[in-house]
């Protein structure tokens, strides 16, 4: 018989059984902490999205019922994204300011038939512009005009608040848009409408399936570069500056996007702000796990759960994820 080590501190004692491990779990993921992104269409039937397995564009007529089902699973929030017909897209994204556009009708429909669900409404022009950028191009057509875009985002936010959204979620990364939106909301009696700010949104390569889902234009088959307004993936300190600006301008919730490759940014923002913090597990993160699982290389459920746990452990209070519904169903079955 071998002689035991002279080791009084043995951390494995705290992992000895499932019951002990459960009692000492430091981080959890619950459906109440997840927000389900939903794509809305004018169509009559579900439209499966090839690059997002298990996710479909939902007809407006079925949207409220779907939200009610999510509520039953313990999911309290949805993020709505419209798929706009190409014929309605213009260089200025004028359809975004149509008071009867698809996004606003979707908000009204859900609030009428499923009033308890929390709606986070996207505020950006990319679903509405013919060029696919998140704003209005300058006179040269080679970059987004920041201040002109903010004017449209403010008008869009007011329409969205009037429709009944609980939170407007500016995802465009224009300078000063949070302050301008907050000022306009308050001046027009929408003091109760919150702002979920995409504070540190990086010019990531992980957005491809999302752009397929909303029909955002790609030039000559290549991914559209948004590097002049979305953040450089190499920059860490800048993300903290962005978050601090949004907080000072009146944001109610900050967000980091993407999540999985930016856990350090989530932790940095968490340690420097007391505001609630969200993180967006984006379409490419979701798609890559599905792709690997389809080849038998990874266990989808186990890697899904681990990825969500990592985002929460890094400091996110809320996670926008395409896994929300599936996770909630498995959570309820435990």
Distance, CA of 172 to CA of 188 (rounded, Å)? 22
Distance, CA of 209 to CA of 214 (rounded, Å)? 9
Angle of CA points 26, 27, 32, to nearest 5°: 140
Residue 226 annotated to the active site = no
In this structure, the strands spanning 167-170 and 118-123 are parallel
**151, containing H or E segment:** helix 146-163
Give the number of other Cβ atoms within 10 Å of residue 310's Cβ: 17
User: Are residues 79 and 313 in contact, defined by beta-carbon separation less than 8 angstroms?
Assistant: no
CA 175, 179, 184, 185 torsion-angle sign: positive
- List, in sequence order, every beta strand (DSSP E) within the chain: 34-41, 47-48, 56-59, 77-82, 118-123, 167-170, 194-201, 253-257, 277-281, 318-321
Reading phi first (left if > 0) and then psi (alpha if -120 to 50, else beta), residue 176 is in left
Helix, strand, or coil here: 101?
coil
Catalytic residue among 89, 111, 226, 257: 257
- Nearest by Cα to 71 from 105, 102, 104, 35: 35
In this structure, the strands spanning 77-82 and 118-123 are parallel
Catalytic residue among 83, 89, 111, 201: 201
Residue 201 annotated to the active site = yes
User: Are residues 91 and 137 in contact, defined by beta-carbon separation less than 8 angstroms?
Assistant: yes
Distance, CA of 248 to CA of 250 (rounded, Å)? 6
In this structure, the strands spanning 47-48 and 56-59 are antiparallel
Residues involved in catalysis: 201, 257
């Amino acid at each position: 018989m071998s002689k035991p080590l002279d080791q009084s501190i043995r951390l494995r004692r705290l992992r000895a059984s499932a019951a002990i491990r459960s009692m000492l779990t430091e981080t959890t993921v619950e459906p109440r902490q997840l927000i389900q992104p939903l794509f809305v269409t004018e169509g009559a039937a579900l439209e499966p999205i090839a690059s997002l397995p298990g996710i479909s564009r939902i007809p407006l007529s079925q949207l409220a019922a779907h939200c009610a089902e999510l509520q039953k699973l313990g999911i309290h929030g949805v993020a709505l994204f419209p798929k706009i017909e190409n014929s309605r897209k213009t260089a200025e994204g004028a359809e975004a300011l149509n008071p009867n556009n698809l996004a606003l009708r979707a908000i009204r429909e859900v609030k009428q038939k499923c009033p308890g669900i929390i709606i986070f409404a996207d505020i950006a022009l990319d679903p509405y512009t013919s060029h696919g950028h998140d704003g209005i191009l300058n006179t040269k057509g080679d970059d987004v005009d920041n201040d002109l875009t903010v004017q449209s985002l403010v008008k869009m936010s007011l329409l969205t608040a009037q429709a009944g959204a609980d939170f407007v979620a500016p995802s465009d990364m224009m300078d000063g848009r949070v302050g301008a939106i907050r000022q306009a909301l308050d001046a027009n009696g929408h003091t109760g409408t919150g702002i979920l700010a995409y504070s540190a949104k990086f010019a990531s390569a992980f957005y491809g399936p999302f752009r397929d889902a909303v029909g955002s234009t790609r030039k000559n088959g290549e991914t559209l570069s948004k590097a002049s307004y979305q953040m450089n993936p190499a920059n860490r300190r800048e993300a903290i500056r962005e978050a601090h600006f949004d907080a000072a301008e009146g944001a109610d919730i900050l967000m980091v996007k993407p999540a999985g490759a930016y856990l350090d940014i989530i932790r940095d923002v968490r340690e420097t702000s007391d505001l609630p913090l969200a993180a967006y597990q984006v379409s490419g993160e979701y798609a890559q796990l599905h792709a690997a699982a389809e080849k038998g290389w990874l266990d989808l459920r186990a890697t899904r759960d681990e990825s969500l746990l990592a985002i929460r452990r890094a400091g996110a209070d809320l996670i926008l994820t395409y896994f929300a519904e599936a996770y909630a169903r498995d959570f309820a079955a435990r």
